[in-house]
Amino acid sequence: MRIGLVSCEYPPQLGLGGVGTYTFRLAEALGQAGCDVRVLCGPTETHMAEIPLKNVTVRRQAAYYDPPWRVPGLRFFWWRAVAPFMERANRTAWHWIKWNLASGAALQRIEDQTPLDVIEAPEHAANGLLVGSMRRWPTVIRLHGPWDLFFGINATKGMALNRALTWMEHRSCRYADVLTAPSRTMATFMHDRWRLREMPMAVPNFMNVPEEPAPLPAVDETPRIVCAGRLERFKGQDTLVKAFARIAAKHPAAKLHLLGPDQWDHRYTFSQLVDRLVPDPTVRRRVILTGPVPLAVVQQALRGAAVAVICSSGFESFSFSTLEAMAAARPIVASRVGALPELLDNGRCGLTAAPGNVQQVADALETLLGDRSLCERLSLAAHARARQCYDTKAALPLFIRAYEEAQWRFRKRKRPSAAALPDHAYAMRQTSPHYRPAAGS
């Protein structure tokens, strides 16, 4: 099967989010399974080398859109009025819109070289809009995280362009042959929020989970509390810093490591915020901000952690940070928000706290730093669940079957007399532990 993956985010890039990590892992897994994978993605920093993967070809498209208009007056208006205004209004949203507009021609060039059987794209920032609107391929749109949630939680500027991106996301979902979501929680949430015509298929994110759980750090080692992810309001690292300050005196050897790029606020850095939140200089020196680091470094830091924390304050559609911690067999503290309770099997694989509740996070940290047997039990349970539900071998067949169903629906739309949906597609939807049907289906 020749599969196209469309995502502006794709490594190696600095400040990479969950969409990029997911697309990379999916491309790698599909390529290893024998599929011919073509990735259309955004540019990378010039000093970063491309990461070669088996059966995967990467085409990078800059966020640059030159309208194919032949009328000079229209082109003049675009470059002298529209583009500069959009850049000033909201540079981030305009970057995504430009890339989305440029993706159509880039996709056509890929199709001219290698015809594609199916294309998957994220709804995030409407990366799938041009794919679906062109109506040339069976299309799977994956509900990673809507832009309206992102800009609402992070209070970004330029509401008009943010709302335009949200409208584009709605349109991309309407064009999809199949909608998927990384969790049952996300599928239900988006079905209700956007009044989708059917319940998205819950097909989980995944990774290669080690067969054996990594041992916990020795009792005499420095206790490291690790939180991996972009430093932004949505991720709630300010709550974690406050909680750490409350337990720092009782655990004088403990250190807090925050791994990820600083995207907290355009007016001040997260480091400056930490200086205000932790005025005690001896405690402040134990709060370590690493900045952006490669995924391999994140995984290494988690394997050496005494506790992993995911303290998101806003809705999480899945959380790769949580899965990384589960795969590393770490005791976890996570917010009771979005899909985090689902990943942790409603508290059986980690402790949970109300989002933004400093005292509950502090209490959970206090419990895990003082109870070795509980840490061992939670870490083993988390690793076992990651192996059973979120390992590549467990999840990849669900993706293949979703692509096959998209192909059937595409053919059905083109030729209404097409054969009935293959039995395996219905079987996948009914037997998958991640699928929950819509009411009345």
At 253 the pLDDT is: 95
pLDDT of residue 156: 52
pLDDT by residue (tens digit) across 367-406? 999 999 999 999 999 999 999 999 999 999 999 999 999 9
pLDDT at residue 425 in the model: 46
- Mean pLDDT of the 282-300 span: 91
* Per-residue confidence (pLDDT) for residue 263, from 0 to 100: 87
Q: What is the pLDDT of residue 153?
A: 54
Domains within the chain, CATH numbers bracketed: 2-202 (3.40.50.2000), 224-389 (3.40.50.2000)
Window from 52-61, 333-342, 405-414 with minimum mean pLDDT:
405-414
Q: Is the pLDDT of residue 344 over 50?
A: yes
Residue 433 has pLDDT above 70, yes or no: no
Strand order across the beta sheet in which 139-142 lies: 56-60, 36-41, 2-7, 118-122, 139-142, 178-181, 201-202
Q: What is the pLDDT of residue 440?
A: 37
Percentage with pLDDT > 70 across the chain: 91
Q: Which pLDDT score is estimated for 158?
A: 54
Q: How far is CA 370 from the centre of its chain?
A: 32
Query: Do residues 189 and 341 make contact, with C-beta atoms less than 8 angstroms apart?
Result: no
Give the model's pLDDT for residue 427.
46
The secondary structure of residue 78, as a DSSP letter, is: I
Q: Is 319 left (phi over 0), alpha (psi -120 to 50) or beta?
A: left
- 420 has pLDDT over 60: no
- Taking CA atoms, 119 is separated from 2, 38, 177, in Å, by 9, 9, 10
Confidence tier at 74 by pLDDT (50, 70, 90): very high
Backbone region of residue 34 per phi and psi (left: phi > 0; alpha: psi in -120 to 50; beta: other values): left
Alpha-carbon distance 155 to 161, whole Å?
Answer: 13
Cis bond upstream, residue 12 (ω within 30): yes
Q: Which of 148-157, 338-347, 400-409, 419-428 has the lowest mean pLDDT?
A: 419-428
Q: Around 62, how many Cα atoms within 13 Å sit in the side-chain half-sphere?
A: 5
The predicted model scores a pTM of 0.84
| Residue 21 confidence (pLDDT) | 87
Q: Which of 300, 307, 298 is nearest to 375 (CA)?
A: 307
- Give the pLDDT confidence score for residue 152 in this predicted structure: 59
Helix (H, G, I), strand (E, B) or coil at 24: helix
| Cα Rg of the chain, angstroms | 22
Q: How confident is the model at residue 159 (pLDDT cuts 50, 70, 90)?
A: confident
Count of CB atoms within 10 A of residue 215's CB?
10
User: Percent of the chain, pLDDT > 90?
Assistant: 67
| Spatial separation of the C-alpha atoms in residues 135 and 66, rounded to whole Å | 22
Is the pLDDT at 154 greater than 80? The verdict is no
Read off the pLDDT of residues 112-134 as tens digits, 9 standing for 90 and up: 999 999 999 999 888 999 898 88
CA distance 61 to 47: 17
So what's the pLDDT on residue 149? 75
Span 273-277, average pLDDT: 96
pLDDT band at 429 (very low <50, low <70, confident <90, very high): very low
The rounded mean pLDDT for the chain is: 89
